[in-house]
């Protein structure tokens, strides 16, 4: 873990993915959230295809693989991100990030139902501790409501995004998904998701609202290229170097960075309640991840915290 070839990408991916939660707030400030999601993946999709080609991965998929890519795209790159972008209109980005750290819980439940993966008792106990911590953070958010939005609606939307991401994670872990190079599957899934995002935004908000501010496009490029395309090879190389279990711990780095940025730029104020909640959430995540068996679903739950 202390080797530079491990430590540097470990901290880099956790820091970048922790920052993406805050950058999203700039994407929903001057444009409807749906169009913000579309613009992001409009840039990320060709870059992901280019990355797959550079890696020498096959891009031709059979019918079953295209169906899988479509399902993953709708769940991950449409439903998940549409829910998240709308959620951040109501609650601070750091709180949404902490909620998404609980993605391991629905992942484990869906994996149990779909592929029969067993859940260890230590994982359940750690998850309950983490849930209790997140509950305290949400109580603090409800009281403070720094964005003056509908906190309850924000929580519901964040949960919706978490469930959509979890469905995508479990669906892609089937035998068909394991037979496709990951970057190729992501590229096609992004393409299908981006097409749906365009149709949804057009139906809900009319013609595209194209921002002219350079800050918007700089943030979009950061989310698309740095937050989506650059970090995935680093992440999966870590999985090969140290295993999925240890790699999953960078979720804790992600949460800490996200909460730091919320404190500095979104007016999040700490008190005994929120500090206790954060401590419990981090402790519970660590306990749950330590107990979790290293399986294919866990590899993806680690990557799903990245916005």
- Chain segment 234-264, per-residue pLDDT in tens: 876 776 677 655 666 777 888 889 889 988 9
- Asked if residue 231 lies in contact with residue 13, where contact means CB atoms within 8 angstroms, the answer is yes
Alpha carbon distance 137, 147 (integer Å): 15
What is the per-residue pLDDT across 266-278, written as a single tens digit (0 to 9) for each?
888 888 888 998 9
* Residue 194 structure tokens: 């981006």
What per-residue confidence (pLDDT) applies to 2?
Answer: 61
* Residue 111 structure tokens: 């994996």
Alpha carbon distance 145, 155 (integer Å): 12
Token pair 């790159």: residue: 77
DSSP three-state, residue 3: coil
Alpha carbon distance 43, 139 (integer Å): 37
Of 233, 231, 226, 87, the closest CA to residue 163 belongs to 87
What per-residue confidence (pLDDT) applies to 298?
Answer: 41
Alpha carbon distance 227, 18 (integer Å): 9
Domain assignment of residue 44, given as a range:
4-303
Alpha carbon distance 171, 61 (integer Å): 17
What per-residue confidence (pLDDT) applies to 46?
Answer: 96
What is the per-residue pLDDT across 25-35, written as a single tens digit (0 to 9) for each?
988 887 999 99
Query: Quick count: other Cβ atoms within 10 Å of Cβ 254?
Result: 27
Considering its fold, how many domains does the chain have in total? Answer: 1
Question: pLDDT over 70 for what percent of the chain?
Answer: 87
What is the rounded average pLDDT of the residues 213-235?
89
Across all residues in the chain, what is the average pLDDT? 83
Alpha carbon distance 83, 94 (integer Å): 15
What per-residue confidence (pLDDT) applies to 192?
Answer: 97
Under the phi-then-psi rule, with left for phi > 0, alpha for psi from -120 to 50, and beta for the rest, what region is 305? Answer: alpha
How many secondary structure helices (H) and strands (E) does the chain include? Answer: 16, 0
Q: What angle do CA 11, 254, 160 make, to 5 degrees?
A: 150
* pTM across the whole model: 0.82
What is the per-residue pLDDT across 106-128, written as a single tens digit (0 to 9) for each?
877 776 776 666 767 777 888 88
């Amino acid at each position: 873990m202390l080797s530079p070839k491990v430590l540097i990408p470990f901290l880099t991916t956790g820091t970048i993915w922790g920052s993406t939660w805050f950058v999203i707030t700039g994407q929903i400030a001057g444009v409807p959230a749906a169009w913000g999601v579309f613009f992001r993946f409009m840039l990320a999709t060709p870059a992901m295809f280019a990355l797959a080609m550079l890696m020498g991965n096959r891009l031709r998929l059979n019918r079953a693989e295209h169906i899988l890519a479509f399902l993953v795209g709708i769940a991950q790159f449409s439903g998940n991100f549409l829910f998240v972008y709308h959620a951040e209109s109501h609650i601070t980005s750091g709180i949404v990030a902490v909620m998404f750290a609980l993605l391991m819980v629905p992942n484990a439940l869906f994996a149990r139902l779909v592929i029969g993966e067993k859940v260890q008792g230590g994982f359940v106990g750690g998850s309950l501790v983490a849930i209790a911590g997140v509950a305290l953070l949400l109580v603090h958010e409800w009281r403070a409501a720094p964005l003056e939005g509908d906190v309850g609606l924000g929580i519901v939307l964040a949960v919706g995004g978490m469930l959509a991401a979890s469905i995508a994670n479990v669906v892609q872990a089937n035998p068909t998904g394991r037979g496709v190079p990951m970057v190729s599957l992501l590229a096609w899934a992004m393409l299908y998701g981006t097409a749906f995002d365009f149709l949804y935004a057009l139906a809900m908000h009319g013609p595209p609202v194209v921002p002219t501010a350079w800050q918007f496009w700089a943030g979009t490029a950061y989310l698309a290229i740095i937050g989506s395309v650059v970090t995935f090879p680093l992440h999966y190389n870590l999985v090969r170097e140290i295993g999925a279990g240890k790699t999953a711990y960078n979720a804790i780095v992600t949460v800490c960075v996200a909460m730091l940025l919320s404190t500095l730029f979104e007016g999040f104020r700490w008190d005994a309640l929120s500090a206790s909640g954060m401590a419990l959430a981090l402790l519970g995540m660590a306990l749950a991840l330590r107990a979790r068996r290293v399986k294919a679903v866990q590899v993806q739950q680690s990557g799903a915290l990245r916005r």
